[in-house]
Amino acid sequence: MAESRPRVWVSQPLFDDLVGRLAVHFDVHATDVVTEHSPAAITEALRDSAGALVTLNEKIGAPQIAGAPGLRAIANVGVGYNNLDVPALTAAGIVATNTPDVLTETTADFGFALLMATARRITEAERWLREGQWQQWSFSTLLGADLHGSTLGIVGMGRIGQGIARRARGFGMRVLYHNRSRLPDTVEHECGASYAGFDDLLAQADHVVLVLPYSPQVHHLVDASALAKMKSTATLVNIARGGIVDEVALADALANGRLAAAGLDVYEGEPAVRPELLALRNVVLTPHIASASLATRRAMVSLAVDNLIAALGEGPDAGRPPTPVNPDALAATAGITIAKRQGA
Ligand code: DGY
């Protein structure tokens, strides 16, 4: 009797040609249309699966894996993985992986684009023009804030933050950064960035970009009191995760002239966007697309597929997924891989 192949679940439509590589090794159950899976549907999809390829839409924690004794790997298509309860996965011996590096430059490009659109009021200007409000050229129409010669504050100086700093350097900006730990001198020098305390950065920056990973410790890091420390002429850009900003406090500061403008790519309740934000003219709103160039989204899926194949003990890197987030869980998978090689 033919041996049944391990089942893998693909939670959203991705790129068929790339996901197709999984079919060489596994019985693939792919989702054909973009779907909002309920927690119960995720539990059901994982029940008989050995692995899953998922996106930030799928929240996976202890309840979702409790009934999935054969689950060994979850490959997240994204660098951020706050949709996964990593300690719960590690405790269950399930390897989790993400997709760093391949999206760094594309995401830094977008962070910079959102900063420019926000500071120079580009989307607001376009709406105004399309509404037919441009009756007469005037000297004081839609005055914005300069990037060149200004101070940029980057909160979260990982790979993407460093990419934004390098771009800012080309624009003649002074760059301050705040991070959990200070970067080596050589990296600071290469990025042209100086370390600052969080409050100091908020007080000095003309533009603040958030690029830090989400964790409960940074929930609403940018709240009313943080916003009050910023210049009233400043702009705030968030390409990290929505939960880092208290959106009610932000909308209030923007509506009351305590902050000039904001550019948001991520939202606490996405895809829902607060009506208070939608009503404001001085906010640029985009639908979580910072890494969304075709080449980069393909590279992310390709890396996630490589991760899943390797984490499930197949392919040339069997047992060594390129980018695990919980290497501790690899020990359990390694045992299975060795047993498999020995024909057990
Ligand atoms: C990421 O990679 O974390 C992006 O937010 C898209 O998932």
Q: What is the pLDDT of residues 10-61, one digit of tens each?
A: 999 999 999 999 999 999 999 999 999 999 999 999 999 999 999 999 999 9
- State the DSSP string of 159-180: HHHHHHHHHHHHTT-EEEEE-S
The ligand 1 atom nearest the CA atom of 77: 7
Centre of ligand 1 to C-alpha 282, Å, is 25
Is residue 223 within 8 Å of 195, Cβ to Cβ?
Answer: no
Q: Provide the residue count of the chain.
A: 344
The pLDDT assigned to 173 comes to: 98
- Neighbour order of strands in the sheet with 235-238: 193-195, 174-178, 151-155, 207-210, 235-238, 261-264, 283-285
Ligand 1 atom closest to Cα of residue 300: 2
21 annotated active-site: no
Which whole number is the average pLDDT over 249-274? 98
Q: What is the pLDDT of residue 333?
A: 62
Q: Which of 12, 55, 79 for mutating ligand 1's site (highest number of atoms within 8 Å of CB)?
A: 79
Q: What pLDDT digit, counting tens, does each position of 98-142 carry?
A: 999 999 999 999 999 999 999 999 999 999 999 999 999 999 999
Per-residue pLDDT at 3: 73
Q: What 3-state class would DSSP assign to 33?
A: coil
Indicate whether 205 pLDDT > 80: yes
Which tens digits make up the pLDDT trace of 180-199? 999 999 999 999 999 999 99
What is the mean predicted confidence (pLDDT) over 270-283?
97
Catalytic residue among 159, 288, 298, 320: 288
- Ligand 1 pocket test, pick from 14, 54, 56, 325 with the greatest ligand atom count within 8 Å of Cβ, gives 56
288 among known catalytic residues: yes
Looking at residue 63, what is its pLDDT? Answer: 97
pLDDT tens track for 287-298: 999 999 999 999
CA distances from 214 to 77, 217, 239 (A): 16, 8, 11
Catalytic residue among 25, 72, 120, 241: 241
Q: Hunting for tokens 């129409």 — which residue is that?
A: 141
Task: Find the catalytic residue in 44, 105, 270, 276.
Answer: 270
- Output the CA torsion sign for 338, 340, 343, 344: positive
How many angstroms separate the alpha carbon of residue 98 from the centre of ligand 1? 9
Is residue 339 scored above 80 in pLDDT?
no
What is the pTM (predicted TM-score) of this model?
Answer: 0.94
Is the predicted pLDDT of residue 341 greater than 60, yes or no? no
Atom of ligand 1 lying closest to residue 266 CA: 5
Which domains can be identified in the chain, with CATH numbers? 7-102+294-341 (3.40.50.720), 104-285 (3.40.50.720)
* Residue 152 CA, ligand 1 centroid: distance in Å: 23
Residues 119-127: contacts with CB under 8 Å, at least 24 apart: 119/144, 119/145, 119/146, 119/147, 119/207, 119/235, 119/261, 120/144, 120/145, 120/147, 121/261, 121/282, 122/284, 123/284, 124/281, 124/282, 124/284, 127/281
Which residue's CA lies nearest to atom 2 of ligand 1?
78
Confidence of residue 344 (pLDDT cuts 50, 70, 90): very low
Confidence (pLDDT) at 82: 97
pLDDT score for 335: 57
Distance 107 CA to ligand 1 centre (A): 9
Nearest CA to ligand 1 atom 7: 78
Q: How confident is the model at residue 343 (pLDDT cuts 50, 70, 90)?
A: very low
78 lines ligand 1 (CB under 6 A): yes
pLDDT at 2: 60
Whether the per-residue pLDDT at 232 is higher than 50: the answer is yes
Mean pLDDT of 156-176: 98
* Confidence label for 338 from pLDDT (cuts 50, 70 and 90): very low
Binding site membership of 80 for ligand 1 (Cβ less than 6 Å)? yes
Q: What is the pLDDT of residues 287-328, one digit of tens each?
A: 999 999 999 999 999 999 999 999 999 999 999 999 999 999
Which residue's CA is the closest to the ligand 1 atom numbered 6? 78
Q: Is ligand 1 within 6 A of the CB of residue 291?
A: yes
Counting runs of H as helices and runs of E as strands, what totals does the chain give? 14, 12
Closest CA to 236 of 244, 330, 92, 137: 244
- Confidence category of residue 8, pLDDT binned at 50, 70, 90: very high
Q: Whose CA is nearest to atom 4 of ligand 1?
A: 78
69-97 pLDDT, tens digit each: 999 999 999 999 999 999 999 999 999 99
